[in-house]
Structure 1
């Protein structure tokens, strides 16, 4: 008989930082879902999600208040980093967690913990800011998706490097974002468009362009790779 090997803990495969982000998002969602179903919070628990939205969601009017009317406050500024942790419903949060785990494993194994955090929050912040500037509606922005799309940007950059070393077509690196944008287009055609896609596309572009600075070796390594190709 062969000795049975201990099952590997799936959480061991995911770097610490993306795992913590997922646990925070999941914890918030389980709490709000439980409250909405009357498991906790009593009669007032049904309104917890709306109350949390009111406290941490981002909306385009914030950009007007801060930059045009000069009414900046902690309540406004905090929303740039708090909105990724609350979602519209369970499935909205579930997909964010799935993507964050998958991309977090790939990107987090190459980027340092600090670089991963900077990447996620920079894409979330600038994604929200660009959304606030370009949106034609004052629609709330919630969810981790601008930060997740930033990870897709970093993933695209890393795949670009990998394909280059293999001598393959480097534009294949854009396959994932192409598929996701195609799904987004089909979804918009069926269910109607929401301007929040601006934050997601902006998050991707920010992630793509800052990934060379945050990847191992930083800007020096990026310039060295450019010189080698000349």
Structure 2
């Protein structure tokens, strides 16, 4: 608190971000308790695998829907459910930490509804890129694509701020360049899946959505169209 005793020293976390964090970690907690036999009985050991089979995004399932022109809800839900299923506690924890850091800044500036739109649609964008570009048989799971969408929104905020002061706007892309570089190094040293394509697509989706969802975004877009 400050000297007047009525203003917190640290801004509180937006409730929508806290709710999303506890939802992700709550699912992981259930998997952990089940795998250790604390809840659910013997079958609980396989809860994570069952969730992956039901809720992970699958390129093979997407191909089947495209070929047959059928879009059952049980498979369409995979576009928005896969970010909530993780491979391990560590996987979910890293997603949670990035969610709190990026989500706080995005939700405070853009608002709760825009935060949710960016999170959900960045996940969808990441899944589409994963299916259309890679067509990898491995399932796509985890919240990094939508979290990278939040990084895209944060990058847009920096990009606009640098523009207003006449600074080099490419500096706004330092964070995403660093994160992609880390993924590349780890991939070369230890191997890994190509799901970075989904992450990068999530980032691009979040950045693109921010053009409209950022405060004053629609007015700026209208002004650009009118000038043309």
Q: TM-score, normalised by structure 2?
A: 0.91
Aligned to 1:108: 107
Aligned to 2:180: 181
Aligned to 2:79: 80
For the residues of structure 1 that align with 2:161 and 2:221, how far apart are their CA atoms? Answer: 14
> What are structure 1's unaligned runs of at least 5 residues?
none
For the residues of structure 2 that align with 1:101 and 1:54, how far apart are their CA atoms? Answer: 28
CA RMSD of aligned residues (A): 2.3
Once the two structures are superposed, residues 38-72 of structure 1 have per-residue CA deviations (whole angstroms, 9 ceiling, x without a partner) of 22122211111111111111111122111122232
For the residues of structure 1 that align with 2:212 and 2:146, how far apart are their CA atoms? Answer: 17
Q: CA deviation at 1:98?
A: 0.2
> Contact 1:163/1:169 (CA < 8 Å) preserved in 2?
yes
> Contact 2:13/2:104 (CA < 8 Å) preserved in 1?
yes
> Contact 1:154/1:208 (CA < 8 Å) preserved in 2?
yes
| 2:110 alignment partner, SS class | coil
Q: 1:97 to 1:119 in 2, by over 3 A?
A: same
> Contact 2:151/2:206 (CA < 8 Å) preserved in 1?
yes
> Contact 2:145/2:203 (CA < 8 Å) preserved in 1?
yes
Q: 1:226 to 1:155 in 2, by over 3 A?
A: farther
Q: CA deviation at 1:78?
A: 0.6
Aligned to 2:97: 98
> Contact 1:29/1:93 (CA < 8 Å) preserved in 2?
yes
Q: Which moved more, 1:84-93 or 1:44-53?
A: 44-53
| 1:41 alignment partner, SS class | coil
Aligned to 2:142: 143
| 2:109 alignment partner, SS class | coil
For the residues of structure 2 that align with 1:101 and 1:224, how far apart are their CA atoms? Answer: 34
Q: CA deviation at 1:199?
A: 0.8
Aligned to 1:166: 165
For the residues of structure 2 that align with 1:181 and 1:211, how far apart are their CA atoms? Answer: 20
Once the two structures are superposed, residues 84-133 of structure 1 have per-residue CA deviations (whole angstroms, 9 ceiling, x without a partner) of 11100000000000000000111110112111111111111121012111
| 1:13 alignment partner, SS class | coil
Is 1:209 matched up with 2:182? Answer: no
| 1:139 alignment partner, SS class | coil
> Contact 1:139/1:195 (CA < 8 Å) preserved in 2?
no
> Contact 1:157/1:173 (CA < 8 Å) preserved in 2?
yes
Q: TM-score, normalised by structure 1?
A: 0.90
Q: CA deviation at 1:179?
A: 0.5
> What are structure 2's unaligned runs of at least 5 residues?
none
For the residues of structure 2 that align with 1:62 and 1:107, how far apart are their CA atoms? Answer: 33
| 1:123 alignment partner, SS class | helix
| 1:110 alignment partner, SS class | helix
Q: CA deviation at 1:224?
A: 4.2
Q: 1:106 to 1:67 in 2, by over 3 A?
A: same
Aligned to 1:194: 193
